[in-house]
Amino acid sequence: MVRSSRLAAVLLCALAPLGARPQTPAAAPRATEGAADATDLEVRSLEERVNELKERIHRTKARLQGLQELTVGGDLAAGAKALVVHRNEMGSSFVLESATFALDGAPVYARSDAGGELDRRDEIPVFEGRLQPGNHQVAVKLVYRGRGGSPTEAPRIKLQSAFTFLAEPGKRTRLSVVAFEKSGVSDVRERPAVRYDLDVRKEEQVRKAGSAPR
């Protein structure tokens, strides 16, 4: 009897830890807390991106409003005068299909013509008005089609470029965006290029030149 009692006591001691094991799942709350932290982090990141986008939209609207006030409804006696034109000096191997211009991020000219009417114009007025004195940027996107073959099969070359110029008070800044064909280049697709010709004069000189008899 003594031996049986001792054996039963030993078995109870050995089985006691086994019975307690299922009662200790402590990892589940930690996993839940980790998922919640990850969700909070994603929400905060998304909020930051939304706020950044709102700020960019606000700055763009302010820039467009300032440009509109000066060029459309603003005081014509204020600011600096600017003139932007596009000159097409490309050779006969290419046809201008579309031209898009933006000034300080605001679209000022956009034309698309696959029939060739746009290509026949040697010079296109893009912008004329008054700007706030300071630096301004013109962004250009031109699409040329290789002449020859059907319009759907001919290669198309896209030219994208940007140029920053200084508008000075009391002066007229004329910026010519010139599309031309580079010489000495064997690959016809690498020939189209853009350059910027800048002409800055006092407004008084421009007025006198315009009123002089021809």
Which pLDDT does position 124 carry in this prediction?
A: 93
C-alpha to C-alpha distances, 21 to 10, 24, 31, 188, nearest whole angstrom: 19, 6, 19, 78
Tell me how far apart the alpha carbons of residues 145 and 73 are, in angstroms, rounded to a whole number: 38
C-alpha to C-alpha distances, 47 to 35, 37, 54, 64, 134, nearest whole angstrom: 18, 15, 10, 26, 35
Which stretches in the chain have pLDDT values below 50? 1-4, 6-8, 10-15, 17-22, 69-76, 214
DSSP E strands, 27-170: 80-89, 94-103, 106-112, 123-131, 134-146, 156-167
- The amino acid sitting at 99 is A
Q: What is the pTM of this model?
A: 0.59
Which pLDDT does position 172 carry in this prediction?
A: 94
Which pLDDT does position 162 carry in this prediction?
A: 97
Which pLDDT does position 60 carry in this prediction?
A: 65
Do 93 and 146 contact (CB within 8 A), yes or no? Answer: yes
Strand, helix or coil for residue 13: helix
Which pLDDT does position 139 carry in this prediction?
A: 97
Q: Which CATH architecture has domain 80-211?
A: Sandwich (2.60)
Which pLDDT does position 103 carry in this prediction?
A: 97
**Segment 187-196, tens digit of pLDDT:** 878 889 999 9
Tell me how far apart the alpha carbons of residues 152 and 73 are, in angstroms, rounded to a whole number: 43
Q: What is the DSSP pairing of strand 156-167 with strand 192-202?
A: unpaired
Which pLDDT does position 100 carry in this prediction?
A: 96
Do 181 and 88 contact (CB within 8 A), yes or no? Answer: no
**Segment 43-87, tens digit of pLDDT:** 777 777 777 777 667 566 655 555 554 444 344 456 799 999 999
